[in-house]
Amino acid sequence: MKIILSIRFNRKAEEINFLIILIVYLFIIIFQRRIYKVETYNLTFMVFVG
């Protein structure tokens, strides 16, 4: 039972990480157009990614 639960938890964690990666790529696409306009959002975004 513990092995099955751990496997399910790992799958859920991988799905959550995949969603986070998709959100990060969307933010990169959005901020690439606004980097030269607003520098503060770019710095906070780089801190969030790093």
Average pLDDT over residues 33-38: 58
**C-alpha 28 chain-centroid distance:** 10
CB 24 within 8 A of CB 49: yes
Lookup: tokens for 50: 């790093």
pLDDT of residue 50: 47
Domain ranges of the chain: 23-50
Tokens 């990480």 correspond to 17
Average pLDDT over residues 31-42: 60
pLDDT of residue 47: 53
Q: Residue 31, exposed/middle/buried by CB under 10 A (0-12, 13-18, 19+)? A: middle
> Which one-letter DSSP state was computed for residue 36?
T
How many of the other CB atoms lie within 10 Å of CB of 42? 15
Average pLDDT over residues 33-45: 58
pTM for this model (two decimals) = 0.42
